[in-house]
Chain A
Protein backbone atom coordinates (compact mmCIF):
# COMPACT_ATOMS: atom_id res chain seq x y z
CA UNK A 1 0.00 0.00 0.00
CA UNK A 2 1.33 3.45 -0.80
CA UNK A 3 2.14 5.79 2.06
CA UNK A 4 -0.78 8.06 1.32
CA UNK A 5 -3.26 5.22 1.10
CA UNK A 6 -2.11 3.69 4.34
CA UNK A 7 -2.29 7.07 6.03
CA UNK A 8 -5.85 7.49 4.86
CA UNK A 9 -6.62 4.00 6.03
CA UNK A 10 -5.39 4.95 9.49
CA UNK A 11 -7.19 8.26 9.67
CA UNK A 12 -10.59 7.04 8.60
CA UNK A 13 -11.19 4.64 11.49
CA UNK A 14 -10.13 7.39 13.88
CA UNK A 15 -12.63 9.82 12.41
CA UNK A 16 -15.36 7.23 12.17
CA UNK A 17 -14.54 6.14 15.65
CA UNK A 18 -15.05 9.68 16.83
CA UNK A 19 -18.29 9.96 14.92
CA UNK A 20 -19.63 6.84 16.57
CA UNK A 21 -18.80 8.01 20.05
CA UNK A 22 -19.62 11.63 19.85
CA UNK A 23 -23.08 11.00 21.19
CA UNK A 24 -22.10 9.64 24.54
CA UNK A 25 -19.29 11.47 26.30
CA UNK A 26 -17.51 13.93 24.06
CA UNK A 27 -17.23 17.62 23.33
CA UNK A 28 -18.49 16.92 19.84
CA UNK A 29 -21.84 15.70 21.16
CA UNK A 30 -23.58 19.00 20.52
CA UNK A 31 -26.62 17.79 22.46
CA UNK A 32 -27.31 21.06 24.24
CA UNK A 33 -27.22 24.77 23.53
CA UNK A 34 -24.14 25.23 25.73
CA UNK A 35 -22.11 22.59 23.92
CA UNK A 36 -23.12 23.98 20.53
CA UNK A 37 -21.95 27.43 21.60
CA UNK A 38 -18.70 25.83 22.70
CA UNK A 39 -18.26 24.13 19.35
CA UNK A 40 -18.90 27.32 17.39
CA UNK A 41 -16.40 29.30 19.43
CA UNK A 42 -13.94 26.42 19.31
CA UNK A 43 -13.93 26.25 15.53
CA UNK A 44 -13.45 30.04 15.33
CA UNK A 45 -10.44 29.77 17.63
CA UNK A 46 -9.05 26.80 15.71
CA UNK A 47 -9.35 28.66 12.43
CA UNK A 48 -7.53 31.75 13.68
CA UNK A 49 -4.88 29.75 15.57
CA UNK A 50 -4.25 27.45 12.63
CA UNK A 51 -3.78 30.46 10.38
CA UNK A 52 -1.23 31.96 12.79
CA UNK A 53 0.58 28.63 13.04
CA UNK A 54 0.80 28.29 9.28
CA UNK A 55 2.29 31.79 9.08
CA UNK A 56 4.93 30.97 11.70
CA UNK A 57 5.90 27.72 10.02
CA UNK A 58 6.03 29.37 6.61
CA UNK A 59 8.37 31.99 8.01
CA UNK A 60 10.48 29.26 9.59
CA UNK A 61 10.71 27.26 6.40
CA UNK A 62 11.55 30.36 4.41
CA UNK A 63 14.35 31.12 6.84
CA UNK A 64 15.69 27.60 6.47
CA UNK A 65 15.41 27.69 2.71
CA UNK A 66 17.47 30.89 2.52
CA UNK A 67 20.26 29.27 4.51
CA UNK A 68 22.64 28.90 1.61
CA UNK A 69 22.55 32.34 0.09
CA UNK A 70 25.68 34.48 -0.06
CA UNK A 71 24.60 37.93 1.05
CA UNK A 72 23.66 37.18 4.67
CA UNK A 73 24.11 39.74 7.45
CA UNK A 74 26.44 37.55 9.44
CA UNK A 75 29.73 37.85 11.27
CA UNK A 76 31.61 36.17 8.41
CA UNK A 77 30.62 39.01 6.07
CA UNK A 78 31.16 41.56 8.81
CA UNK A 79 27.57 42.79 8.55
CA UNK A 80 26.23 41.11 11.68
CA UNK A 81 25.09 44.41 13.16
CA UNK A 82 22.99 45.26 10.10
CA UNK A 83 19.39 44.09 9.69
CA UNK A 84 17.22 43.72 6.68
CA UNK A 85 14.95 46.85 6.73
CA UNK A 86 12.06 44.70 5.54
CA UNK A 87 12.17 42.90 8.88
CA UNK A 88 11.39 46.06 10.81
CA UNK A 89 8.18 46.73 8.93
CA UNK A 90 7.29 43.04 9.06
CA UNK A 91 7.71 43.14 12.82
CA UNK A 92 5.26 45.97 13.10
CA UNK A 93 2.84 44.19 10.79
CA UNK A 94 3.23 40.98 12.77
CA UNK A 95 2.52 42.75 16.04
CA UNK A 96 -0.56 44.38 14.56
CA UNK A 97 -1.77 41.06 13.17
CA UNK A 98 -1.31 39.26 16.51
CA UNK A 99 -2.96 42.13 18.34
CA UNK A 100 -5.97 42.24 16.07
CA UNK A 101 -6.33 38.46 15.94
CA UNK A 102 -6.12 37.99 19.68
CA UNK A 103 -8.40 40.93 20.39
CA UNK A 104 -10.96 39.43 18.03
CA UNK A 105 -10.72 36.08 19.78
CA UNK A 106 -11.06 37.69 23.19
CA UNK A 107 -14.15 39.58 22.06
CA UNK A 108 -15.71 36.45 20.58
CA UNK A 109 -15.03 34.64 23.84
CA UNK A 110 -16.59 37.45 25.83
CA UNK A 111 -19.78 37.45 23.82
CA UNK A 112 -20.17 33.70 24.04
CA UNK A 113 -19.58 33.90 27.76
CA UNK A 114 -22.24 36.57 28.18
CA UNK A 115 -24.82 34.60 26.25
CA UNK A 116 -24.11 31.53 28.39
CA UNK A 117 -24.51 33.61 31.55
CA UNK A 118 -27.80 35.03 30.30
CA UNK A 119 -29.21 31.56 29.82
CA UNK A 120 -28.92 30.97 33.54
CA UNK A 121 -31.74 33.39 34.30
CA UNK A 122 -34.24 31.39 32.36
CA UNK A 123 -34.53 28.12 34.15
CA UNK A 124 -37.69 26.10 34.40
CA UNK A 125 -36.44 23.04 36.24
CA UNK A 126 -34.24 23.00 39.31
CA UNK A 127 -32.10 20.10 40.48
CA UNK A 128 -29.60 19.90 43.33
CA UNK A 129 -26.61 17.63 42.82
CA UNK A 130 -24.46 16.87 45.85
CA UNK A 131 -21.10 15.27 45.29
CA UNK A 132 -19.87 12.62 47.67
CA UNK A 133 -16.79 10.58 47.54
CA UNK A 134 -17.48 8.68 44.53
CA UNK A 135 -21.21 8.99 43.96
CA UNK A 136 -23.72 11.64 43.00
CA UNK A 137 -26.70 12.48 45.21
CA UNK A 138 -29.48 14.03 43.15
CA UNK A 139 -32.54 15.84 44.36
CA UNK A 140 -35.21 17.27 42.12
CA UNK A 141 -36.67 20.40 43.66
CA UNK A 142 -40.35 21.12 43.39
CA UNK A 143 -42.60 23.78 44.85
CA UNK A 144 -44.77 21.03 46.29
CA UNK A 145 -42.72 19.24 48.94
CA UNK A 146 -44.39 15.92 48.31
CA UNK A 147 -43.03 16.00 44.76
CA UNK A 148 -39.35 16.40 45.65
CA UNK A 149 -37.46 13.40 44.45
CA UNK A 150 -34.21 11.94 45.75
CA UNK A 151 -32.23 9.61 43.55
CA UNK A 152 -28.60 8.86 42.82
CA UNK A 153 -26.10 8.65 39.99
CA UNK A 154 -28.58 9.11 37.15
CA UNK A 155 -29.99 12.42 36.01
CA UNK A 156 -33.01 12.68 33.74
CA UNK A 157 -33.57 15.93 31.89
CA UNK A 158 -36.43 16.98 29.64
CA UNK A 159 -35.31 18.05 26.18
CA UNK A 160 -35.78 21.71 25.33
CA UNK A 161 -36.27 22.80 28.95
CA UNK A 162 -33.57 24.95 30.57
CA UNK A 163 -32.51 23.29 33.79
CA UNK A 164 -30.59 24.90 36.58
CA UNK A 165 -28.49 22.46 38.53
CA UNK A 166 -27.31 23.56 41.95
CA UNK A 167 -24.03 22.05 43.00
CA UNK A 168 -22.97 21.21 46.55
CA UNK A 169 -20.42 18.87 47.99
CA UNK A 170 -20.41 16.83 51.14
CA UNK A 171 -16.70 16.26 51.31
CA UNK A 172 -14.05 17.28 48.76
CA UNK A 173 -14.11 19.21 45.49
CA UNK A 174 -15.76 17.37 42.61
CA UNK A 175 -16.77 18.68 39.20
CA UNK A 176 -19.98 18.24 37.28
CA UNK A 177 -19.22 17.72 33.60
CA UNK A 178 -21.33 16.21 30.86
CA UNK A 179 -19.22 16.92 27.78
CA UNK A 180 -21.97 16.33 25.26
CA UNK A 181 -24.17 18.87 26.99
CA UNK A 182 -22.16 21.65 28.60
CA UNK A 183 -18.97 22.76 30.24
CA UNK A 184 -18.09 21.93 33.78
CA UNK A 185 -18.63 23.52 37.14
CA UNK A 186 -16.98 22.50 40.40
CA UNK A 187 -18.80 21.20 43.45
CA UNK A 188 -16.97 22.90 46.30
CA UNK A 189 -17.82 22.28 49.97
CA UNK A 190 -18.91 25.52 51.51
CA UNK A 191 -19.74 27.20 48.19
CA UNK A 192 -23.00 27.29 46.27
CA UNK A 193 -22.33 26.84 42.57
CA UNK A 194 -24.76 26.21 39.77
CA UNK A 195 -24.83 25.41 36.08
CA UNK A 196 -27.54 25.78 33.47
CA UNK A 197 -28.14 23.22 30.75
CA UNK A 198 -30.58 23.44 27.87
CA UNK A 199 -30.55 20.05 26.14
CA UNK A 200 -31.62 19.99 22.51
CA UNK A 201 -31.28 16.33 21.59
CA UNK A 202 -32.69 13.18 23.09
CA UNK A 203 -30.15 10.59 24.13
CA UNK A 204 -28.10 9.01 26.89
CA UNK A 205 -24.92 10.76 27.97
CA UNK A 206 -22.19 10.19 30.47
CA UNK A 207 -20.50 12.74 32.66
CA UNK A 208 -17.28 11.82 34.45
CA UNK A 209 -16.26 13.68 37.57
CA UNK A 210 -13.75 16.25 36.41
CA UNK A 211 -11.84 17.25 39.54
CA UNK A 212 -9.57 14.79 41.27
CA UNK A 213 -11.46 13.71 44.34
CA UNK A 214 -9.48 10.82 45.74
CA UNK A 215 -8.95 7.15 45.20
CA UNK A 216 -11.88 6.38 42.92
CA UNK A 217 -12.14 9.61 40.98
CA UNK A 218 -11.87 7.54 37.81
CA UNK A 219 -15.06 5.66 38.67
CA UNK A 220 -17.37 8.52 39.55
CA UNK A 221 -19.60 9.21 36.57
CA UNK A 222 -23.06 10.48 36.10
CA UNK A 223 -25.44 9.05 33.54
CA UNK A 224 -27.66 11.72 32.02
CA UNK A 225 -30.79 10.71 30.14
CA UNK A 226 -32.35 13.42 28.00
CA UNK A 227 -35.89 12.52 27.02
CA UNK A 228 -39.07 14.17 25.73
CA UNK A 229 -40.99 16.16 28.32
CA UNK A 230 -43.86 13.71 28.60
CA UNK A 231 -41.49 10.79 29.21
CA UNK A 232 -39.65 12.87 31.76
CA UNK A 233 -42.81 13.55 33.76
CA UNK A 234 -43.72 9.88 33.57
CA UNK A 235 -40.26 9.00 34.89
CA UNK A 236 -40.55 11.51 37.72
CA UNK A 237 -43.94 10.20 38.79
CA UNK A 238 -42.67 6.65 38.71
CA UNK A 239 -39.63 7.56 40.79
CA UNK A 240 -41.90 9.12 43.41
CA UNK A 241 -43.58 5.75 43.99
CA UNK A 242 -42.28 3.72 46.93
CA UNK A 243 -40.48 0.47 46.28
CA UNK A 244 -42.79 -2.39 45.21
CA UNK A 245 -43.50 -5.14 47.74
CA UNK A 246 -41.54 -8.30 47.03
CA UNK A 247 -43.63 -11.21 45.75
CA UNK A 248 -41.33 -14.23 45.51
CA UNK A 249 -40.02 -15.90 48.69
CA UNK A 250 -36.42 -15.29 47.61
CA UNK A 251 -37.09 -11.59 47.14
CA UNK A 252 -38.89 -11.52 50.48
CA UNK A 253 -35.86 -13.02 52.19
CA UNK A 254 -33.73 -10.42 50.47
CA UNK A 255 -36.10 -7.68 51.62
CA UNK A 256 -35.77 -8.90 55.18
CA UNK A 257 -31.99 -8.91 55.03
CA UNK A 258 -31.70 -5.53 53.33
CA UNK A 259 -34.02 -3.73 55.71
CA UNK A 260 -32.60 -5.23 58.91
CA UNK A 261 -28.96 -5.83 58.06
CA UNK A 262 -26.00 -3.63 57.24
CA UNK A 263 -27.51 -2.35 53.99
CA UNK A 264 -30.09 -0.22 55.77
CA UNK A 265 -27.38 1.43 57.89
CA UNK A 266 -26.34 3.47 54.86
CA UNK A 267 -29.01 3.12 52.16
CA UNK A 268 -32.60 4.30 51.93
CA UNK A 269 -35.40 2.51 50.08
CA UNK A 270 -38.65 4.44 49.90
CA UNK A 271 -41.61 2.67 51.50
CA UNK A 272 -39.48 0.37 53.62
CA UNK A 273 -37.86 0.73 57.04
CA UNK A 274 -34.48 1.19 55.36
CA UNK A 275 -33.68 4.87 55.80
CA UNK A 276 -29.93 5.34 55.81
CA UNK A 277 -28.80 8.71 54.47
CA UNK A 278 -25.11 7.97 54.06
CA UNK A 279 -25.19 6.11 50.75
CA UNK A 280 -27.17 6.40 47.50
CA UNK A 281 -30.92 6.04 47.49
CA UNK A 282 -31.87 2.61 46.16
CA UNK A 283 -35.63 2.91 45.72
CA UNK A 284 -35.51 2.45 41.95
CA UNK A 285 -32.06 1.01 41.64
CA UNK A 286 -32.86 -1.53 38.96
CA UNK A 287 -34.31 1.12 36.67
CA UNK A 288 -30.96 2.82 36.34
CA UNK A 289 -28.60 2.25 33.49
CA UNK A 290 -25.40 1.94 35.47
CA UNK A 291 -24.13 0.73 38.79
CA UNK A 292 -21.70 2.28 41.24
CA UNK A 293 -21.79 5.75 39.66
CA UNK A 294 -21.14 4.78 36.10
CA UNK A 295 -18.54 2.17 36.91
CA UNK A 296 -20.36 -0.64 35.14
CA UNK A 297 -23.65 -1.17 33.33
CA UNK A 298 -26.66 -2.30 35.31
CA UNK A 299 -27.17 -6.02 34.98
CA UNK A 300 -27.68 -9.10 37.06
CA UNK A 301 -24.08 -10.25 36.92
CA UNK A 302 -22.72 -6.84 37.83
CA UNK A 303 -25.23 -6.58 40.65
CA UNK A 304 -24.02 -9.87 42.05
CA UNK A 305 -20.41 -8.79 41.83
CA UNK A 306 -21.04 -5.37 43.32
CA UNK A 307 -23.11 -6.55 46.27
CA UNK A 308 -20.75 -9.39 47.10
CA UNK A 309 -17.44 -7.52 46.89
CA UNK A 310 -17.48 -3.81 46.04
CA UNK A 311 -13.89 -3.47 47.20
CA UNK A 312 -12.53 -5.51 44.36
CA UNK A 313 -14.48 -3.61 41.69
CA UNK A 314 -13.88 -0.14 43.12
CA UNK A 315 -11.13 -0.45 45.74
CA UNK A 316 -11.37 2.04 48.57
CA UNK A 317 -15.04 2.85 48.04
CA UNK A 318 -17.04 3.57 51.18
CA UNK A 319 -19.32 0.55 50.71
CA UNK A 320 -17.78 -2.29 52.70
CA UNK A 321 -17.38 -5.87 51.58
CA UNK A 322 -19.75 -7.70 53.88
CA UNK A 323 -19.03 -11.24 52.78
CA UNK A 324 -22.54 -12.52 52.29
CA UNK A 325 -23.33 -16.20 52.34
CA UNK A 326 -24.37 -17.47 48.91
CA UNK A 327 -27.99 -17.84 50.03
CA UNK A 328 -28.08 -14.30 51.37
CA UNK A 329 -26.48 -13.02 48.15
CA UNK A 330 -29.10 -14.63 45.93
CA UNK A 331 -31.86 -13.25 48.12
CA UNK A 332 -30.47 -9.72 48.20
CA UNK A 333 -29.90 -9.55 44.46
CA UNK A 334 -33.31 -11.00 43.78
CA UNK A 335 -34.83 -8.25 45.92
CA UNK A 336 -32.73 -5.47 44.40
CA UNK A 337 -33.79 -6.51 40.94
CA UNK A 338 -37.41 -5.86 41.89
CA UNK A 339 -36.58 -2.22 42.64
CA UNK A 340 -37.48 -1.03 39.16
Chain B
Protein backbone atom coordinates (compact mmCIF):
# COMPACT_ATOMS: atom_id res chain seq x y z
CA UNK B 1 0.00 0.00 0.00
CA UNK B 2 1.48 3.34 -0.94
CA UNK B 3 1.78 5.89 1.81
CA UNK B 4 -0.57 8.31 0.09
CA UNK B 5 -3.25 5.64 -0.24
CA UNK B 6 -2.81 4.74 3.40
CA UNK B 7 -2.98 8.37 4.44
CA UNK B 8 -6.20 8.93 2.53
CA UNK B 9 -7.69 5.74 4.04
CA UNK B 10 -6.92 6.98 7.52
CA UNK B 11 -8.39 10.36 6.68
CA UNK B 12 -11.57 8.78 5.36
CA UNK B 13 -11.90 6.58 8.42
CA UNK B 14 -11.40 9.58 10.68
CA UNK B 15 -14.00 11.53 8.76
CA UNK B 16 -16.41 8.61 8.96
CA UNK B 17 -15.84 8.23 12.69
CA UNK B 18 -16.40 11.93 13.18
CA UNK B 19 -19.56 11.74 11.12
CA UNK B 20 -21.00 8.87 13.09
CA UNK B 21 -20.20 10.34 16.47
CA UNK B 22 -21.42 13.80 15.55
CA UNK B 23 -24.65 12.50 14.10
CA UNK B 24 -25.83 10.87 17.28
CA UNK B 25 -25.05 13.74 19.60
CA UNK B 26 -27.00 16.24 17.56
CA UNK B 27 -29.92 14.08 16.48
CA UNK B 28 -33.44 15.24 17.25
CA UNK B 29 -35.60 12.39 18.40
CA UNK B 30 -38.92 14.11 18.48
CA UNK B 31 -40.47 11.03 16.98
CA UNK B 32 -38.25 8.52 18.69
CA UNK B 33 -39.12 4.89 18.61
CA UNK B 34 -41.14 3.58 20.29
CA UNK B 35 -43.97 5.99 19.87
CA UNK B 36 -45.89 6.41 23.07
CA UNK B 37 -45.15 3.21 24.85
CA UNK B 38 -45.66 3.44 28.58
CA UNK B 39 -43.36 0.98 30.29
CA UNK B 40 -45.54 -1.72 31.86
CA UNK B 41 -44.39 -2.79 35.30
CA UNK B 42 -43.20 -6.29 34.48
CA UNK B 43 -41.11 -5.49 31.43
CA UNK B 44 -38.42 -3.39 33.07
CA UNK B 45 -34.90 -4.79 33.20
CA UNK B 46 -34.24 -6.20 36.66
CA UNK B 47 -31.71 -4.17 38.57
CA UNK B 48 -31.36 -6.41 41.57
CA UNK B 49 -30.55 -10.05 41.03
CA UNK B 50 -29.35 -12.03 44.02
CA UNK B 51 -26.72 -14.70 43.87
CA UNK B 52 -24.28 -13.15 41.38
CA UNK B 53 -24.89 -13.58 37.70
CA UNK B 54 -24.51 -10.86 35.09
CA UNK B 55 -26.59 -7.76 34.56
CA UNK B 56 -29.03 -7.91 31.63
CA UNK B 57 -27.87 -6.51 28.30
CA UNK B 58 -28.22 -2.80 27.67
CA UNK B 59 -31.57 -1.83 26.21
CA UNK B 60 -31.46 -0.98 22.51
CA UNK B 61 -32.93 2.44 23.15
CA UNK B 62 -29.89 3.50 25.17
CA UNK B 63 -27.92 4.39 22.07
CA UNK B 64 -30.57 6.92 21.07
CA UNK B 65 -30.55 8.78 24.37
CA UNK B 66 -27.33 8.19 26.24
CA UNK B 67 -24.97 10.76 24.74
CA UNK B 68 -27.62 12.71 22.89
CA UNK B 69 -27.43 16.43 23.58
CA UNK B 70 -31.07 17.07 22.69
CA UNK B 71 -32.28 14.32 25.04
CA UNK B 72 -30.20 15.74 27.88
CA UNK B 73 -31.55 19.21 27.12
CA UNK B 74 -35.16 18.02 27.16
CA UNK B 75 -34.45 16.08 30.33
CA UNK B 76 -33.06 19.22 31.94
CA UNK B 77 -36.30 21.07 31.29
CA UNK B 78 -38.46 18.14 32.40
CA UNK B 79 -36.46 17.77 35.62
CA UNK B 80 -37.57 21.23 36.66
CA UNK B 81 -41.08 21.06 35.20
CA UNK B 82 -41.89 17.72 36.89
CA UNK B 83 -40.56 19.04 40.20
CA UNK B 84 -37.83 16.47 40.63
CA UNK B 85 -36.01 19.30 42.37
CA UNK B 86 -38.59 19.05 45.12
CA UNK B 87 -36.94 15.92 46.48
CA UNK B 88 -33.58 15.73 44.74
CA UNK B 89 -32.86 19.50 44.49
CA UNK B 90 -30.55 20.03 41.55
CA UNK B 91 -28.86 16.71 42.20
CA UNK B 92 -27.70 17.39 45.70
CA UNK B 93 -30.49 15.42 47.28
CA UNK B 94 -32.78 16.25 50.16
CA UNK B 95 -35.73 14.03 50.84
CA UNK B 96 -34.49 12.01 47.94
CA UNK B 97 -31.00 10.64 47.46
CA UNK B 98 -28.38 12.77 45.72
CA UNK B 99 -27.94 12.21 42.01
CA UNK B 100 -24.51 13.73 41.60
CA UNK B 101 -22.57 11.03 43.42
CA UNK B 102 -21.41 7.58 42.39
CA UNK B 103 -23.88 5.58 44.45
CA UNK B 104 -26.74 4.16 42.43
CA UNK B 105 -29.07 2.07 44.57
CA UNK B 106 -30.96 0.74 41.62
CA UNK B 107 -28.30 0.94 38.95
CA UNK B 108 -26.71 3.81 37.08
CA UNK B 109 -27.12 2.57 33.51
CA UNK B 110 -29.53 4.65 31.52
CA UNK B 111 -32.05 1.84 31.17
CA UNK B 112 -31.90 1.16 34.89
CA UNK B 113 -32.48 4.84 35.70
CA UNK B 114 -35.36 4.93 33.22
CA UNK B 115 -36.90 1.96 34.98
CA UNK B 116 -36.50 3.65 38.33
CA UNK B 117 -38.33 6.70 37.07
CA UNK B 118 -41.03 4.62 35.41
CA UNK B 119 -41.88 2.15 38.16
CA UNK B 120 -41.01 4.23 41.23
CA UNK B 121 -39.01 2.92 44.20
CA UNK B 122 -39.64 2.32 47.87
CA UNK B 123 -39.45 5.21 50.32
CA UNK B 124 -40.93 7.87 48.13
CA UNK B 125 -39.85 7.75 44.48
CA UNK B 126 -43.15 8.07 42.62
CA UNK B 127 -43.95 5.95 39.58
CA UNK B 128 -44.09 8.08 36.47
CA UNK B 129 -45.37 5.45 34.08
CA UNK B 130 -48.74 6.53 32.87
CA UNK B 131 -47.82 10.13 33.63
CA UNK B 132 -44.89 10.58 31.27
CA UNK B 133 -44.21 8.89 27.97
CA UNK B 134 -41.26 6.58 27.47
CA UNK B 135 -39.51 9.23 25.41
CA UNK B 136 -39.80 11.74 28.26
CA UNK B 137 -38.64 9.21 30.83
CA UNK B 138 -35.58 8.35 28.80
CA UNK B 139 -34.83 12.06 28.35
CA UNK B 140 -34.95 12.45 32.12
CA UNK B 141 -32.73 9.42 32.59
CA UNK B 142 -30.16 10.89 30.20
CA UNK B 143 -30.19 14.13 32.17
CA UNK B 144 -29.90 12.38 35.53
CA UNK B 145 -26.82 10.58 34.28
CA UNK B 146 -25.31 13.89 33.27
CA UNK B 147 -25.64 15.13 36.85
CA UNK B 148 -22.99 12.69 37.97
CA UNK B 149 -20.74 13.17 34.99
CA UNK B 150 -21.41 9.89 33.22
CA UNK B 151 -22.12 10.94 29.60
CA UNK B 152 -19.39 12.45 27.43
CA UNK B 153 -18.85 16.10 28.17
CA UNK B 154 -19.64 17.45 24.74
CA UNK B 155 -23.25 16.27 24.93
CA UNK B 156 -23.94 17.88 28.26
CA UNK B 157 -25.20 21.40 28.74
CA UNK B 158 -23.23 23.46 31.19
CA UNK B 159 -25.98 25.10 33.18
CA UNK B 160 -29.67 25.86 33.17
CA UNK B 161 -31.27 29.27 32.99
CA UNK B 162 -32.42 30.61 36.30
CA UNK B 163 -30.74 30.45 39.65
CA UNK B 164 -27.48 28.58 39.69
CA UNK B 165 -27.37 25.18 41.30
CA UNK B 166 -23.90 23.84 41.82
CA UNK B 167 -21.08 22.87 39.49
CA UNK B 168 -21.76 23.20 35.80
CA UNK B 169 -22.28 19.77 34.30
CA UNK B 170 -19.48 20.27 31.80
CA UNK B 171 -17.04 20.63 34.68
CA UNK B 172 -18.36 17.72 36.78
CA UNK B 173 -15.61 15.16 37.16
CA UNK B 174 -16.24 12.03 35.17
CA UNK B 175 -18.31 9.62 37.24
CA UNK B 176 -18.27 5.92 37.84
CA UNK B 177 -21.11 3.67 38.84
CA UNK B 178 -20.84 1.99 42.22
CA UNK B 179 -23.78 -0.08 43.30
CA UNK B 180 -24.68 -0.38 46.96
CA UNK B 181 -25.65 -3.98 46.63
CA UNK B 182 -22.56 -6.11 47.19
CA UNK B 183 -24.17 -8.90 45.22
CA UNK B 184 -23.53 -6.89 42.12
CA UNK B 185 -19.84 -6.11 42.72
Contact = CB atoms under 8 A, between A and B. Distances in A.
- A–B in direct contact per CB < 8 Å: yes
B37 interface: yes
A324 interface: yes
Given A278-B81, A320-B136, A171 B30 contact: no
Interface string B4-36: 000000000000000000000000101100111
B30 A262 contact: no
Sorting the interface of chain B by its residue count into under 10, 10 to 19, 20 to 34 or 35 or more gives 10 to 19
Interface string A265-286: 1100000000000100000000
Contacts of B35: 309, 321, 323
Nearest to A266: B81
Nearest 3 CB-CB pairings of A with B: A323-B36, A320-B133, A322-B36
Interface of A: 171, 189, 260-262, 264-266, 278, 309, 311-312, 315-318, 320-324
A265 B30 contact: no
B64 interface: no
B161 A322 contact: no
B82 interface: yes
Given A320-B136, A322-B36, A312 B31 contact: yes
Contacts of A261: 130-131
Interface string B141-162: 0000000000000000000010
28 contacts: A260-B130, A261-B130, A261-B131, A262-B130, A262-B131, A262-B133, A265-B131, A278-B81, A278-B82, A309-B35, A311-B30, A312-B31, A315-B30, A315-B31, A316-B30, A318-B77, A320-B36, A320-B132, A320-B133, A321-B35, A321-B36, A321-B133, A321-B135, A322-B36, A322-B133, A323-B35, A323-B36, A323-B133
B34 to A, nearest CB: 8
Contacts of B36: 320-324
Given A311-B31, A317-B30, A321-B31, 17 more contacts: A171-B161, A261-B130, A261-B131, A262-B131, A264-B131, A265-B82, A265-B131, A266-B81, A309-B35, A315-B30, A315-B31, A318-B77, A321-B36, A321-B135, A323-B35, A323-B37, A323-B133
A260 B38 CA distance: 14
Interface string B71-97: 000000100011000000000000000
Interface string B106-132: 000000000000000000000000111
Contacts of A309: 35
Contacts of B31: 311-312, 315, 321
A240 B132 CA distance: 29
B118 to A, nearest CB: 12
